[in-house]
Amino acid sequence: MLSFRRVLAGPLRQDDLGGCALISAFWLHNSAGRVMLNPLRLSPLSSSRRTVYALSATRCGLIQRKMTENGAASRRGKVLTVDTMNPCVKKVEYAVRGPIVQRAMQLEKELKEGAKKPFTEVIKANIGDAHAMGQRPITFFRQVLALCSCPELLDDPAFPEDAKSRARRILQSCGGGSIGAYSASQGIDCVRQDVARYIERRDGGIPSDPDNVFLTTGASDGIVTILKLLACGEGRTRTGVMISIPQYPLYSAALAELDAVQINYYLNEESCWSLDTSELRRSLAAARPHCNPRALCIINPGNPTGYCLTRQCIEDVIRFAAEERLFLLADEVYQDNVYADGCQFHSFKKVLFEMGPEYSNTVELVSFHSTSKCYMGECGFRGGYMEVINMDPAVKEQLAKLVSVRLCPPVPGQALMALVVNPPQPGEPSHTTFLKERNATLSVLAEKAKLTEQILNTVPGITCNPVQGAMYSFPKITIPERAVKEAKEKGMVPDMLYCMKLLEETGICLVPGSGFRTARWNLPLQNDHLTNDRQAEDLAGEATVPQTRALTARLHDRSRTNGRELPCLRAALGVHRGARLSRHGGRQSESARAPPNLVSCHTFGLHVKTLKAPNQRSASLTNQGLYCSPRARSAVLGPIPSPGCGDDVSPRAFIRTPGQSVSLQYGDFYQRKNGA
């Protein structure tokens, strides 16, 4: 904010041009691509606006006095306008909940009001929201929370004893024995102790101090809090924070709001989105002259890339952080979501401590975890924690003060965190069920990860890396020149156009890949630059998958656009979109039968929208106007048996069936394949 003000307050000085210079550095390096550097620094908020504002303020003052004298109060101007609000807020763009999501909600509303659409429900694949997609909660967790909420139920014999004893323990640690009481702002003591013990178990006995554990309102609260703590300085001393590209947009949004400098380092798509320390060095060196790089954020397993860091890579990162004196933020919310063979989750803390005291006594690290992902998927509870390691005690005091401003994290979320870190133990009545539920969810996710990759790669124009972990795939989509042109005309990023069309026509809500890169699309699109892969990446958009009729048609149209390969889009695929019950259709029973979270990929633009009734399915599967390559078809139909509602039914047939309210999608499909 400081330098921002400086920019506003006077003529730009050399110091203030850091952003521009840095961007050009990136341009040089990447020959066109990736830009990222906080584009906001370039935003044309020049001194003139400030001057105008200052002038108008003075003028207002005069008018105001006059009006007050006259007793008039008819001035219509707002106190708060876009020009007079916090300028940093203007720089925030949160892609996961951006315009596409707004539109999706609007569509949902229209559907509810009976509007006719080519789909009956909106599928929100923009965010890792497992329960929305049909994943079932872990019974034990919900039992304990229900008991905490309504302690009268402690007499109910239907609840298992271990759930009751867990509930009693949690309630005892709440003020007045109620989860409605505020807790300490750092979180309930006994929950923090449980978290510390969990970390010790996870990391093979490396000690964890409950005083270093802060419970948070989901991991995002912790991340923003730490970034807020670190943000300071102005001009060249402004705090710089290194984030991966593609990134989870929370980071860029928070950095923009805090007026810190976003320093991008690029993950390597060619090797499965891996992280390379030479890239870290490059990016840091480029940023050093312009800001004060103080922190490095790593998401492991990666969001949206799904990449799992190897132990060696983590060591390299830690060594790098130690050498360059960087504060490490390890976003480890997907720690249980690792699917690929040979991949394993290693916590930064464990690796740090195994590297010996030289590192474990010095490197500052905060690690984040949450109740929203993994096998629980309990996003709505907003539970999470962070563990701070090697933080200066004086700074920790400041942190404690900062978290106290928001009073406390939601207590039910804290209670849930307590259960996640301390699930039923062998010998306890709920242990078997818990393990069964947990493993089922994780194995289904793993399978879907594989399926997603496999299916996406059968579609011409889409390439997708193996999904090693997390809950997303992030494929690259080639879109035609005409679409790019149209996007340009509409002032949109091509991937935004893609996603918007996808949403309008199929009801599937995705996040454009550009949202995972920078806060803003600021690269002029040049069709003939396509050769550079990195550039391609910059042009990318996340699209999860299914292509719209228009888009697929357009892809098909390639011959008409000179057959040229055009800017690529990344597509991200929500891995765990489950067989989803249409809320409005009320077909409870079918969804209840479907195993949790079965479907993931409302993949490819293969929806058949022409079905009138289920029994007409096979007959009407004529891919009307839809794109479907023979290869895709055989790939899909080959390994996966038809779902049984027709002979020649491709999976797309399950995606949208407007004639009925429940679309079974892959859930059904999967179930059969697995002989379930």
Partner 1 sequence: MGDEGISSPGKRTVGTAFWERGTDDVSPGREVNPRVKDIQVSRREALLGQAAQIRHGLRQGSNKPYKELIDICWGDAHSAGMKPITFVRQVLAACIHPELLLHGDRLPADARHRAQRLLGECDGGSIGSYTATSGLPHVKRSVAEFITRRDGGVRSLPENISICSGSQRALMLVLNLLAQGEGVSQTGVLTPVPTCNTAAMALAEAGVVTVPYQLCEEQRWALQTDELCRVLRASRGHCDPRVLYVANPGNPTGHVQSRESIEEVIRLAAEERLFLLVNEVDQDSVHAEGCEFVSYRKVLFEMGPPFSDMVELVSVHSIARGFMGEGGMRAGYMEILNMDPAVKSWLVEALMCRDINTPVLGQIALDIMVDPPRPGDPSHATYTEEVRSRRETLIGNVGRVQEVLDALPGVSCQPVMGGNYVFPRLHLPTAAVDQAQSVGVEADLLYCKLLLEEEGLCVGPGCEFGQREGTHHIRLHVMVPTEALDDALGRLKRFHLRFMRTFS
Positions in 567-626 near partner 1 (CB under 8 A): 578, 580-581, 583, 591
Which residue do the tokens 């009976």 mark? 114
Q: Which stretch binds partner 1 (CB under 8 A): 301-309, 394-402, 649-657, 664-672?
A: 394-402
**Is the bond leading into 639 cis (omega within 30 degrees of zero)?**
no
Tell me the CA distances in angstroms from 589 to 138, 350, 373, 585, 672, one per residue in order: 19, 45, 26, 11, 18
Min CB(500)–partner 1 separation in Å = 16
Min CB(264)–partner 1 separation in Å = 19
Among residues 353, 341, 287, 283, which one has the least CA distance to residue 314?
353
Establish if 162 lies at the interface with partner 1 (CB under 8 A).
Answer: no
Closest CB to partner 1 among 1 and 645?
A: 1
Q: Which stretch binds partner 1 (CB under 8 A): 128-136, 265-273, 477-485, 608-616?
A: 128-136
**In this chain, which of 7, 36, 100, 179 binds partner 1, going by CB under 8 A?**
179
| Contact string 356-385 vs partner 1 (x = CB under 8 A) | ------x-x-----------xxxxxxx---
DSSP structural state of residue 127: S
Establish if 438 lies at the interface with partner 1 (CB under 8 A).
Answer: no
Closest CB to partner 1 among 178 and 622?
A: 178
| Contact string 255-284 vs partner 1 (x = CB under 8 A) | --xx--------------------------
Closest CB to partner 1 among 176 and 207?
A: 176
Torsion, Cα of 181, 387, 296, 130 (10° steps): -60
Asked whether the beta carbons of 18 and 237 are under 8 A apart, the reply is no
Min CB(8)–partner 1 separation in Å = 9
Q: Residue 341 and residue 407: Cα distance in Å, rounded?
A: 43
Min CB(638)–partner 1 separation in Å = 31
Contacts 24+ apart (CB under 8 A), 614-619: 614/645, 614/657, 614/659, 614/660, 616/659, 617/645, 617/646, 617/649, 617/653, 617/657, 618/645, 618/646, 618/647, 618/648, 618/649, 619/646
Residues 6+ apart with CB under 8 A from 266: 34, 244, 245, 279, 283, 534, 537
Asked whether the beta carbons of 87 and 45 are under 8 A apart, the reply is yes
Closest CB to partner 1 among 627 and 670?
A: 670
**In this chain, which of 34, 41, 97, 164 binds partner 1, going by CB under 8 A?**
97
Establish if 253 lies at the interface with partner 1 (CB under 8 A).
Answer: yes
| Contact string 199-238 vs partner 1 (x = CB under 8 A) | ------------------xx-xx--x---xxxxxxx----
Q: For residues 6-45, which are near partner 1 according to CB under 8 A?
A: 6, 9
Min CB(454)–partner 1 separation in Å = 25
Q: Which stretch binds partner 1 (CB under 8 A): 341-349, 408-416, 457-465, 629-637?
A: 408-416
Asked whether the beta carbons of 597 and 135 are under 8 A apart, the reply is yes
DSSP structural state of residue 621: -
Per rule CB under 8 A, count of chain residues that contact partner 1: 123
Angle (CA) 271-275-279 rounded to 5° is 105
The amino acid at 586: G
Among residues 394, 329, 385, which one has the least CA distance to residue 187?
385
**In this chain, which of 86, 344, 439, 526 binds partner 1, going by CB under 8 A?**
86
Among residues 336, 369, 343, 344, which one has the least CA distance to residue 442?
336
Establish if 552 lies at the interface with partner 1 (CB under 8 A).
Answer: no
Residues 6+ apart with CB under 8 A from 35: 23, 26, 27, 518, 522, 523, 538
Residues 6+ apart with CB under 8 A from 415: 144, 145, 148, 170, 179, 191, 383
**In this chain, which of 18, 33, 39, 98 binds partner 1, going by CB under 8 A?**
98
Closest CB to partner 1 among 151 and 460?
A: 151
Closest CB to partner 1 among 48 and 526?
A: 48
Residues 6+ apart with CB under 8 A from 643: 649, 651, 653, 654, 664, 668, 669, 672
Closest CB to partner 1 among 13 and 560?
A: 13
**In this chain, which of 11, 158, 172, 342 binds partner 1, going by CB under 8 A?**
158
Q: Which stretch binds partner 1 (CB under 8 A): 272-280, 305-313, 389-397, 425-433?
A: 389-397
Q: Residue 2 and residue 291: Cα distance in Å, rounded?
A: 13
Tokens of 612: 């009138």
**In this chain, which of 23, 25, 254, 280 binds partner 1, going by CB under 8 A?**
254
Establish if 633 lies at the interface with partner 1 (CB under 8 A).
Answer: no
Closest CB to partner 1 among 23 and 326?
A: 326
Min CB(487)–partner 1 separation in Å = 21
Q: Quick one: residue 470, left, alpha or beta (phi over 0 = left, psi -120 to 50 = alpha)?
A: left
Establish if 85 lies at the interface with partner 1 (CB under 8 A).
Answer: yes
Residues 6+ apart with CB under 8 A from 294: 230, 239, 240, 241, 326, 327
Establish if 190 lies at the interface with partner 1 (CB under 8 A).
Answer: no
Q: Residue 414 and residue 418: Cα distance in Å, rounded?
A: 6
Cα 266 to the center of its chain, rounded Å? 17
Min CB(345)–partner 1 separation in Å = 22
Min CB(639)–partner 1 separation in Å = 28
Q: For residues 292-351, which are near partner 1 according to CB under 8 A?
A: 294-295, 325-327
Tokens of 157: 């014999």
Q: Residue 446 and residue 468: Cα distance in Å, rounded?
A: 9
Cα 108 to the center of its chain, rounded Å? 21
Q: Which stretch binds partner 1 (CB under 8 A): 67-75, 282-290, 553-561, 649-657?
A: 67-75
Establish if 51 lies at the interface with partner 1 (CB under 8 A).
Answer: no
Closest CB to partner 1 among 115 and 405?
A: 405
**In this chain, which of 411, 417, 455, 497 binds partner 1, going by CB under 8 A?**
411
Establish if 62 lies at the interface with partner 1 (CB under 8 A).
Answer: no
Tokens of 481: 């020149």
Q: For residues 457-516, which are near partner 1 according to CB under 8 A?
A: none
**In this chain, which of 5, 201, 436, 560 binds partner 1, going by CB under 8 A?**
5
Min CB(479)–partner 1 separation in Å = 26
Establish if 187 lies at the interface with partner 1 (CB under 8 A).
Answer: no
